[in-house]
Structure 1
Amino acid sequence: MQTINATAVAQEVILAARGVTKFYEGKTERVLVLDNITLELRAGELVALLGPSGSGKSTLLRTLAGLVRPSLGQVLVHGQPLEGPNPQVAIVFQSFALYPWLTVLQNVELGLLAKELPRADRRRRALAAIDLIGLDGFEDAYPRELSGGMKQRVGFARALVVEPEALFMDEPFSALDVLTAQNLREQLLDLWTEREMPTRAILMVTHNIEPEYSALVEAIYRLMNSTQARVEDILPLARPVQVPVVERPYQVLPHAAIGDLTGLVGHLDEVGGRQDLPVLARDLQLELDELLPLIEGLDILGLGAAQEGDAVLTELGREFAAADVQEEKAIFRAQVMHHVQLIRQVMDQLRETDSHSFKEDELLEQLQQYFSEPEARRQLDTAIDWGRFAELFAYDDDSGELYLEEEEEESGDSE
């Protein structure tokens, strides 16, 4: 069995498998899962384990993480045999695995409990990880309030908060819809290429390499035999380089989640900023009546529009697509304050109260004068989703309270 290095240059080997074999004893015969695997993960590399379901990818990942003991062979961490769980590795799984009774902040802080850090240090690092991954504004939200993409972001923040030497990803995007998965992939790759991600290497398990990854992956260890895994091939790939409030009646907001909107912008940017609507719906695996509210959302925000049967990005939309997480939020914040009446009303009410907070029931009652009860709820939910993403205000789902966070309070008070 040949030894395969992910790159030809001499980089520090963080993690290595040497002749790793894994089998299970059945009633009548031995079931072979991994067969004499030898590979290395070096500092600065993003390595992919590619293969169909049942090929042993996840078993190999868990073995390298020290969660599964090999039947034969060794796993080495900086040249030393691994015994037990690998403390230098954090894993993001396909399932979100969040504690439903804990907030986003508390779920992320969990990753630091074993490090016995002072509470203030845990809080500081957790907030930094939440900000890095684009969840600032949702710290006090519970998992039930989050979309699938946001839940997976919490999983990434919880993994990155410990600043692992190697980040393992076990098909982390496969449970997400097309737009959300694309948006999250692109943002994580931006963090990796800009070296803003607090990890030295990434090992990714997948059954399909997306185009975005193909320009980044240093090596692809292909596990293509569905009954037992072998390293069969390597594919070396190069690196690529405030506005007056409009009087009622209320503006109608489309039912468009943040992850879907940002994912749509990213997709349109990739195809040149314009695409035929039916083709776009097919590519995103959406019905047209699911796609049109997203186009309407982009139109309201000045990021895109429907023109002559096509979805088209505006110049600002192209700028949004090229922005990093914080720049995205700044653009989004400016656009919702300029174009979304309901969010401006929320901000005005928050700033006018002494406590800088109010119960959502007050606003729901006003909305129900113009919308049915279910639609009023949907309108408010959309405004809350957009406002939180823009980091304009926070929301407590348990109490139904909207409130300004300290930084915004100080800004409002100084005006």
Structure 2
Amino acid sequence: MALHDNTQAAPVIALEGVGKMFRTADGADRAVLEGVDLTLREGEIVAMLGKSGSGKSTLLRIMAGLVGADRGTVQFRGRPLQGAAEGIAMVFQSFALFPWLTVQQNVELGLEAQGVAGPERTRRAEAAIDMIGLSGFNSALPRELSGGMRQRVGIARALVTEPDLLLMDEAFSALDVLTGETLRDEMLGLWQSGRANIRSILIVSHNIEEAVMMADRIVILSSDPGRVRAEVPVPFPRPRNRDDAQVRALVDEVYTLMTSPATPGPRVPAATAAQALGYRLPDADIGQMEAVLDLLHESPFFGRADLPHLAAEAGLTDDDLLPACEAMQLLGLAHIERGDISATALGRVYYQTPPPERKVLFGKQLLAHVALAAHIRRELEESEHGEVGEEAVLRELEAYLKPEEAETVLRIAIDWGRFGEVYGYSLHSGMLMLPDLVPSA
């Protein structure tokens, strides 16, 4: 049974050719977003997925009017969006509550900014608090509430303004699984009842199953720069059964899109080692990588697994599993194709190798496949004292990445390099050094 067709409904917000740039440390411009075309229409929930570097948060802030686009146009209700608009509200992952204000006062903030009179503010805030299931907690401070209750306050603060467009930036990801699912289901109940008077919802998520369970349409962004690489309709009525065969098949399809190259054919290697330094390493914990690889070799998988099934068995979210799998593929330990992961011959050897010897194999693969690690090692070998300051490496990375992204990539490279005994690092001095120069504990 298909849902009603929204393609002829009135646009709530429309982006055409949207691009956003940032300036690197060497003065060059680099695109975060490029050529993004996206329309949200009345009566639909859209979920947006993308890896790190896809510009999801930047795009969301452009749609909220918090930052401007450098290229293209953004129209809200048929008019150019210029700054924050009254008909757009946003729910953040971090709750973003003022800790010194009560629940009632936090919810009233948006109405106060719109100039709504005191008695009307009070009435509408009380109604929103009741609608989101927090009646009786109006005078409580955020520190007195659980995480789920604090996020309810954030949602009530957004709903009280009766926005045409609700933007949700990973709004359930900071919550435990059960609380997140409960709040998600309650939001869907409010949406379908029409009580919240919202015309359209955009959910930025890292959870593929959440996107399939909530959305009418899933938009997938590619990375570096962010572009819309695929749009997947979700043709199932709500409420949806996560165990339904058609739902599981769609989850598999989205996993396939999320783990496949953006364009058909083999990946094109970086033209030079210098260009490869800007590769955005997946933020993967080594312990999780090894746990996933070990699980992959055991029953019921024996070397090959469907990614959603593996995620369930490993008890990992997509935010943890996908970077771990990407890192394993990068290091030649696994291969991902069409939403399935399989161990390579080297991955099988790694699995059978005792833990102390694994470090040697890991380090060898790191130098062979991660340009940044090989570059650091080469710099150390060529330096007079076998040491290089992390600030020098950061400056090199900032020619390709934003400062905060460069710091993340260097932290990952340091963690991987220390594990593989390719180089050491002193947190006290901020120096990278050859392994034989690392002070013994």
Aligned equivalents of 1:143, 1:20: Cα separation in 2: 37
Aligned equivalents of 1:24, 1:270: Cα separation in 2: 40
Task: Please give the per-residue CA displacement for 1:196-238, whole angstroms capped at 9, x wherever unaligned.
Answer: 2221110111122335x4254222110132x211111111112
Matched, 1:14 2:17: no
Indicate how the Cα distance of structure 1 residues 59 and 7 shifts in structure 2: closer, same or farther if over 3 A, else same: farther
Residue 61 of structure 2 aligns to which amino acid in structure 1? R
Aligned to 1:79: 78
Residue 221 of structure 2 aligns to which amino acid in structure 1? L
Residue 78 of structure 1 aligns to which amino acid in structure 2? R
Residue 219 of structure 2 aligns to which amino acid in structure 1? Y
Aligned to 1:392: none
**TM-fit CA distance, 1:77:** 1.3
Indicate how the Cα distance of structure 1 residues 284 and 134 shifts in structure 2: closer, same or farther if over 3 A, else same: farther
Secondary structure in structure 1 of the residue aligned to 2:235? coil
**TM-fit CA distance, 1:9:** 3.0
Residue 228 of structure 1 aligns to which amino acid in structure 2? P
On the 8 A contact 2:6/2:44 being kept in 1, the answer is no
On the 8 A contact 1:48/1:219 being kept in 2, the answer is yes
Aligned equivalents of 1:271, 1:232: Cα separation in 2: 27
Residue 233 of structure 1 aligns to which amino acid in structure 2? A
Aligned equivalents of 1:45, 1:21: Cα separation in 2: 24
Residue 228 of structure 2 aligns to which amino acid in structure 1? V
Aligned equivalents of 2:62, 2:117: Cα separation in 1: 32
Aligned equivalents of 1:98, 1:126: Cα separation in 2: 15
Aligned equivalents of 1:44, 1:176: Cα separation in 2: 27
Aligned to 1:350: none
**TM-fit CA distance, 1:170:** 0.3
Aligned to 1:224: 222
Matched, 1:234 2:231: yes
**TM-fit CA distance, 1:176:** 1.0
On the 8 A contact 2:213/2:242 being kept in 1, the answer is no
Matched, 1:39 2:55: no
- For 1:21-100, list aligned pairs within 5 A: 21-28=19-26, 29-100=28-99
Aligned to 1:338: none
Aligned to 2:247: none
Secondary structure in structure 2 of the residue aligned to 1:232? strand
**TM-fit CA distance, 1:148:** 0.5
Secondary structure in structure 2 of the residue aligned to 1:235? strand
**TM-fit CA distance, 1:284:** 11
Aligned to 2:138: 139
Aligned equivalents of 2:78, 2:197: Cα separation in 1: 22
Structure 2: which 5+ runs fail to align? 245-311, 317-441
TM-score of the superposed pair, with normalisation by structure 2 = 0.52
Indicate how the Cα distance of structure 1 residues 114 and 220 shifts in structure 2: closer, same or farther if over 3 A, else same: same
On the 8 A contact 2:65/2:84 being kept in 1, the answer is yes
**TM-fit CA distance, 1:192:** 1.2
Indicate how the Cα distance of structure 1 residues 105 and 95 shifts in structure 2: closer, same or farther if over 3 A, else same: same
Secondary structure in structure 2 of the residue aligned to 1:97? coil
Task: Please give the per-residue CA displacement for 1:163-201, whole angstroms capped at 9, x wherever unaligned.
Answer: 011000000111111121111111111111222222111
- For 1:212-361, list aligned pairs within 5 A: 213-225=211-223, 227-241=224-238
Aligned equivalents of 1:283, 1:161: Cα separation in 2: 40
Matched, 1:206 2:231: no
On the 8 A contact 2:89/2:159 being kept in 1, the answer is yes
